[in-house]
């Protein structure tokens, strides 16, 4: 090796070019790991090895980024179709469970839904909303009731999952599992029922799912009764 080669500074490893898709993916990882309170353009840029100012070439700011990451994870929500009126309830129930699963994978989702106005819906959210709305129309809901019926179901799912995600986040911070947690059952764990289940050695995760499904089915009972009245 020559003296010139030994003294020549090494080239810095090039980082992949920034893009909106890369920024959104990095933001989702940050949110999943640390929560929405820790999201900032500066912190996101540092994690990506880039200056915060360079992110603004692709995203106008934190508000737009929130809309983009929310739409990104909504792409994980599966909404099945219904071929007949008799299939709408099962399809909506499956949709509700899948939305819950998505929100528990990304506990920050419920806290940011209200930040995205109807005029800023991304393609994924638009797609799943249209598919969900089609289920209620297939079920026989009048045009002026299909959207409120859909919103009633989604509101239940988001509300129930918010408490559940908070409970699981508390457990994660405690460093204990659900079976070992000594802080007592949280609101999403089912109160006295959860305490009895813990004493009986039942699976807390299964209990949470049963509690969620109970509420979802009661919402669907009400909607089905509305349908039967014409």
Three-state secondary structure of 41-71: HHHHHHHHCCCHHHHCCCCCCHHHHHHHHHH
Same domain, 78 and 30: no
Same domain, 95 and 173: yes
Q: How many whole angstroms from its chain centre is CA 228?
A: 33
Q: Is residue 125 part of a domain?
A: yes
Q: How many CB atoms lie within 10 A of CB 65?
A: 22
Q: Whole-angstrom Cα distance, residue 230 to residue 218? A: 19
Same domain, 110 and 219: yes
Structural domain that includes position 49 = 16-59
Same domain, 124 and 46: no
Q: Is residue 5 part of a domain?
A: no
What CATH number should be reported for the domain holding residue 149? 1.10.357.10
Closest CA to 99 of 36, 156, 21: 156
Same domain, 52 and 84: no
Beta strands in 53-205, from DSSP E residues, in sequence order: none
Same domain, 147 and 55: no
The last residue of one of the domains, among 7, 28, 59, is: 59
So what's the pLDDT on residue 72? 96
Same domain, 107 and 34: no
DSSP string, 9-42: PPPPPPPPPP-HHHHHHHHHHHHHHH-GGG--HH
Q: Is residue 195 part of a domain?
A: yes
Percent of the chain with pLDDT over 90: 63
Going by C-beta distance under 8 Å and a sequence separation of 6 or more, which residues neighbour residue 134?
Answer: 81, 82
**Do the beta carbons of residue 68 and residue 119 sit within 8 Å?**
no
Same domain, 144 and 224: yes
Q: How confident is the model at residue 156 (pLDDT cuts 50, 70, 90)?
A: very high
Q: Is residue 52 part of a domain?
A: yes
Same domain, 45 and 133: no
Q: Is residue 133 part of a domain?
A: yes
For residue 190, the 8-state DSSP code is T
Closest CA to 40 of 57, 7, 22, 62: 62
Q: Is residue 147 part of a domain?
A: yes
Q: Whole-angstrom Cα distance, residue 85 to residue 228? A: 12
Helices (H), 106-142: 109-112, 123-139
Q: Is residue 4 part of a domain?
A: no
pTM of structure: 0.81
Question: Between 88 and 6, whose confidence is greater?
Answer: 88
Q: Is residue 40 part of a domain?
A: yes
**Coil/strand/helix, residue 201:** coil
Question: Between 193 and 24, whose confidence is greater?
Answer: 24
Same domain, 47 and 151: no
The last residue of one of the domains, among 26, 59, 92, is: 59
**Do the beta carbons of residue 188 and residue 166 sit within 8 Å?**
yes
Same domain, 49 and 86: no
Count: domains in the chain:
2
So what's the pLDDT on residue 110? 82
- Mean pLDDT, rounded, for 147-169: 91
Q: Is the pLDDT of residue 134 over 90?
A: yes
What CATH number should be reported for the domain holding residue 33? 1.10.10.60
Same domain, 85 and 139: yes
The last residue of one of the domains, among 33, 59, 85, is: 59
Q: Is the pLDDT of residue 7 over 80?
A: no
């Amino acid at each position: 090796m020559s003296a010139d080669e030994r003294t020549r500074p090494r080239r810095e490893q090039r980082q992949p070019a920034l893009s909106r898709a890369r920024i959104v993916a990095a933001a989702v990882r940050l949110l999943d790991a640390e929560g929405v309170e820790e999201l900032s353009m500066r912190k996101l840029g540092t994690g990506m090895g880039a200056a915060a100012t360079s992110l603004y070439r692709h995203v106008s700011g934190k508000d737009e980024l929130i809309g983009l990451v929310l739409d990104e994870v909504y792409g994980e929500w599966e909404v099945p179709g219904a071929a007949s009126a008799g299939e709408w309830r099962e399809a909506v129930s499956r949709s509700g469970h899948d939305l819950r699963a998505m929100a528990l994978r990304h506990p920050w989702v419920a806290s940011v839904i209200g930040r995205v106005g109807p005029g800023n819906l991304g393609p994924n959210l638009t797609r799943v909303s249209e598919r969900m709305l089609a289920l209620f129309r297939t079920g026989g809901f009048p045009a002026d009731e299909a959207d409120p019926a859909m919103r009633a179901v989604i509101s239940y799912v988001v509300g129930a999952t918010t408490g559940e995600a908070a409970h699981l986040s508390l457990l994660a911070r405690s460093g204990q599992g659900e079976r070992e947690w000594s802080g007592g059952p949280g609101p999403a764990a089912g109160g006295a029922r959860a305490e009895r289940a813990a004493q009986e050695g039942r699976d807390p995760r299964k209990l949470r799912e049963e509690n969620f499904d109970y509420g979802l089915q009661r919402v669907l009972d009400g909607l089905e009764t509305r349908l039967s009245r014409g």
